[in-house]
């Protein structure tokens, strides 16, 4: 490989575009499954960069900038799949029985295009002239530099590809063990506490352990705190206050958590999100002013702009934004056409377009800033989605309030969810765009070419989301949805979509349990205050992100417990290899193995969904093995420990070999 001439590097190439699209297709399918199962997604930039370097190493003229375009295209997979935090809500409320391709594609594509357009003017202020850390953008740039700079780097690129492969194969085989029923799909213990009950469950999932490793110890500890608050404090207290002696410990604890504690978790998330976003108002406004000032100076001076500072022309940005409103309006019209809200079509579409324009700009700017501050994976997209659905529900609710009834309320909830899907796509792609532009800045890329690359990734990812979502809808269905055609008896939790649709119904229908949400908000405020004091007295060395705590209260323990295990395991591994030969390489390989865990398990389950649909059997791989539930739990624990420990060891040894 070569570091091409800085004045005219090889960047957008046909082979790079094809490779980027292929990686996007695979990772988007994996992300959709993961997000529906656990409410979390992972950043795809780093594994995409490693795969790109390994495959493009066959071409001597491949440049670092070309590899960067590949990861830019593929990064859309890690973010655009976040629309499934909202979209399944339309299935859960029974508005859709199936996932239509064009409305879903349109919502993703239009939102994604607007996300690129809205954040492009922020590049100078929030990337070039900013000291924001952009952790994932910097990490992706370092992976590209290491892979290009030396023989050792090339060896690391090959080792990195093997890390992704080993992780993917291991997690797919592990998931197959649960599907065959030789391992328990969940390890759980519930018990009585006097009149009350509590316990904890953990999904047998290497993907979740991988997600925990990637999120890091800070988020892991926050989620551990959330587990303690939910299952160590709230569930025991609330089950004791409402004794149900006839129920088993599991039914009693899970029943109270689902109906009461979970809504308190929503309150924690909402309060933490609002305060987090309010704290970002000043730097975001300052960044916008700086961007406009930089544009004005460039026009006045008339200087030739360096290649590494060339964005898409602002005229094109404005034109594309305005043109995008036409298909956006058509989408909203077609959504309402022939329904009970037809008479309100004009005001509702006007409100929807205005909301996409204004709320989209705000969400993209805030998400872009947060990407720079804490990274794309840790950016509180949940908080943005919550605020967006509240605003959308209030806006469309006001339009239809004079004819409000059960059917009208149902239709208004559906419309609010659809509008929120578009705005969320704007937000998450805006988040991703600035992270990618930071990587590009560090490797000498051309900004406008990256922006074009991301637009290609948006279109590719938008093509994948609808069919994968429909496949999973037909195979598994979603918790709480009618699931008319679902074959399996194990619906996907889709926890974020459940929360968003519940909030929309509560706001428009007026039956949201505000007392529980309010108690949660008070807990959220207390956590914000604690986090402020912790950061202040530790000089920002330690923190306890309130959103992470809130998510762990809201999400099932089966999801959060393995994430906590992965975060702690990753921290201990990084500490163990930190000062050894090849330690930094070993850390990077560990990240890639964990990314492989997510990809392998997710793709296996997407394939399993296809098999369920083809066979008509909800458990097509299950076999009778004669083992008890306890025995299958023990097998799952031993197998998980062996796989994770063995691959961590492989990472450490490979780090030494690469740097020998």
**pLDDT confidence band for 100 (50 / 70 / 90):** very high
Per residue in 24-65, pLDDT (tens digit) is 888 888 778 767 766 666 667 777 877 787 788 777 778 888
What would the mean pLDDT of 554-559 be, rounded to a whole number? 83
**pLDDT confidence band for 227 (50 / 70 / 90):** very high
**pLDDT confidence band for 646 (50 / 70 / 90):** very high
**pLDDT of residue 335 exceeding 80:** yes
Mean pLDDT of the chain: 83
Residue 572 is encoded by which pair of tokens? Answer: 């201990």
DSSP conformational letter for 83: G
**pLDDT of residue 1 exceeding 50:** no
Residue 236: how many other CB atoms lie within 10 Å: 20
What is the spatial distance between Cα 660 and Cα 643, in angstroms, rounded to a whole number? 26
What would the mean pLDDT of 555-559 be, rounded to a whole number? 83
Contact 75, 432 (CB under 8 A): yes
What is the spatial distance between Cα 413 and Cα 502, in angstroms, rounded to a whole number? 10
Closest CA relative to residue 256, chosen from 325, 199, 180, 311: 199
Per residue in 399-444, pLDDT (tens digit) is 877 776 778 888 999 999 999 999 999 988 988 888 888 888 888 8
**pLDDT confidence band for 151 (50 / 70 / 90):** very low
* pLDDT at site 280: 64
* pLDDT at site 459: 92
**pLDDT of residue 98 exceeding 80:** yes
* pLDDT at site 52: 81
Least confident of 374-383, 449-458, 469-478: 374-383
Closest CA relative to residue 150, chosen from 225, 28, 64: 64
**pLDDT of residue 585 exceeding 90:** no
What is the spatial distance between Cα 621 and Cα 612, in angstroms, rounded to a whole number? 9
**pLDDT of residue 143 exceeding 80:** no
Residue 504 is encoded by which pair of tokens? Answer: 């929309």
Closest CA relative to residue 651, chosen from 536, 574, 598: 574
* pLDDT at site 5: 45
What is the spatial distance between Cα 411 and Cα 425, in angstroms, rounded to a whole number? 22
Select the more confidently predicted residue: 522 or 368.
Answer: 522
* pLDDT at site 25: 85
* pLDDT at site 174: 92
Per residue in 616-639, pLDDT (tens digit) is 776 788 887 778 888 889 999 999
What is the spatial distance between Cα 78 and Cα 88, in angstroms, rounded to a whole number? 18
**pLDDT of residue 2 exceeding 60:** no
* pLDDT at site 147: 65
Least confident of 1-5, 230-234, 482-486: 1-5
Least confident of 9-23, 99-113, 324-338, 608-622: 608-622
What is the spatial distance between Cα 550 and Cα 383, in angstroms, rounded to a whole number? 10
Select the more confidently predicted residue: 274 or 228.
Answer: 228
* pLDDT at site 4: 43
What is the spatial distance between Cα 293 and Cα 35, in angstroms, rounded to a whole number? 39
Domain chopping of the chain, boundaries: 14-210+323-483+493-512+569-658
Per residue in 262-308, pLDDT (tens digit) is 889 888 887 887 787 677 667 666 655 665 666 666 666 655 667 77
């Amino acid at each position: 490989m070569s570091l091409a001439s800085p004045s005219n590097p090889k960047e957008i190439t046909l082979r790079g575009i094809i490779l980027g699209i292929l990686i996007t297709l695979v990772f988007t399918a994996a992300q959709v499954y993961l997000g529906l199962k656990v409410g979390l997604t992972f950043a795809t930039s780093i594994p995409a960069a490693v795969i790109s370097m390994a495959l493009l190493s066959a071409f001597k003229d491949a440049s670092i900038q070309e590899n960067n375009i590949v990861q830019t295209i593929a990064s859309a997979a890690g973010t655009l799949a976040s629309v499934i935090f909202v979209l399944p809500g339309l299935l859960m409320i029974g508005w859709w029985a199936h996932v239509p391709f064009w409305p879903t594609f349109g919502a993703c594509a239009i939102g994604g295009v607007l996300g690129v357009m809205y954040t492009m003017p922020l590049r100078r202020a929030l990337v070039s002239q900013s000291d924001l850390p952009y952790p994932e953008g910097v990490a992706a740039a370092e992976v590209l530099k290491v892979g290009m700079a030396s023989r050792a780097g090339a060896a690391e690129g090959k080792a990195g590809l093997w890390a992704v492969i080993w992780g993917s194969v291991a997690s797919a085989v592990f998931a197959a063990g649960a599907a065959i029923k030789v391992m328990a799909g969940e390890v759980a213990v519930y018990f009585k506490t006097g009149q009350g009950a509590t316990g904890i469950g953990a999904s047998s999932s290497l993907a979740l352990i991988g997600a925990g490793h990637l999120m890091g110890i800070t988020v892991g500890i926050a989620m551990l705190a959330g587990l303690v608050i939910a299952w160590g404090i709230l569930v025991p207290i609330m089950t004791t206050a409402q004794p149900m002696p006839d129920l088993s410990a599991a039914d009693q604890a899970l029943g109270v958590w689902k109906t009461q504690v979970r809504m308190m978790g929503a309150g924690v998330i909402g309060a933490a999100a609002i305060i987090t976003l309010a704290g970002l108002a000043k730097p975001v406004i300052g960044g916008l002013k700086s961007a406009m000032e930089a544009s004005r100076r460039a026009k006045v001076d008339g200087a030739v702009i360096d290649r590494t500072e060339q964005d898409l022309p602002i005229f094109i940005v404005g034109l594309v934004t305005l043109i995008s409103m036409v298909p956006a309006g058509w989408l909203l019209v077609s959504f309402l056409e022939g329904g009970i809200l037809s008479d309100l079509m004009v005001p509702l579409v006007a409100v929807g377009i205005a909301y996409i324009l204004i709320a989209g700009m705000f969400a993209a700017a805030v998400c872009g800033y947060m990407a720079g501050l804490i990274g794309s994976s840790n950016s509180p997209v949940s908080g943005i989605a919550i605020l967006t659905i509240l605003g959308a529900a209030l806006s469309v609710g006001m339009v239809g309030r004079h004819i409000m009834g059960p059917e009208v309320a149902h239709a208004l909830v559906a419309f609010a969810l659809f509008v929120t899907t578009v705005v969320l796509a704007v937000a998450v792609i805006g988040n991703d765009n600035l992270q990618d532009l930071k990587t590009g800045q560090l490797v000498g890329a051309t900004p406008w070419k990256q922006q074009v690359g991301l637009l290609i990734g948006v279109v590719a990812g938008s093509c994948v989301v609808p069919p994968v979502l429909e496949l999973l809808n037909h195979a598994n269905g979603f918790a709480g949805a009618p699931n008319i055609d679902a074959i399996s008896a194990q619906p996907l939790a889709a926890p974020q979509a459940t929360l968003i649709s519940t909030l929309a119904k509560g706001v428009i229908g007026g039956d949201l349990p505000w007392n529980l949400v309010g108690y949660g908000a008070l807990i959220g405020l207390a956590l914000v205050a604690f986090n402020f004091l912790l950061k202040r007295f530790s000089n920002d060395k330690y923190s306890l992100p309130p959103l992470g705590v809130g998510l762990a209260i809201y999400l099932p323990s089966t999801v959060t417990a393995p994430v906590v295990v992965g975060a702690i395991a990753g921290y201990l591994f990084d500490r163990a290899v930190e000062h050894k030969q090849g330690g930094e390489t070993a850390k990077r390989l560990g990240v890639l193995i964990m990314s492989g865990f997510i990809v392998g398990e997710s793709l296996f389950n997407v394939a399993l969904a296809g098999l369920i649909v083809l066979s008509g059997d909800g458990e097509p791989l299950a076999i009778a093995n004669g083992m008890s539930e306890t025995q299958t739990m023990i097998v799952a624990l031993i197998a998980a420990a062996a796989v994770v420990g063995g691959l961590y060891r492989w990472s450490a040894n490979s780090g030494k070999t690469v740097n020998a």
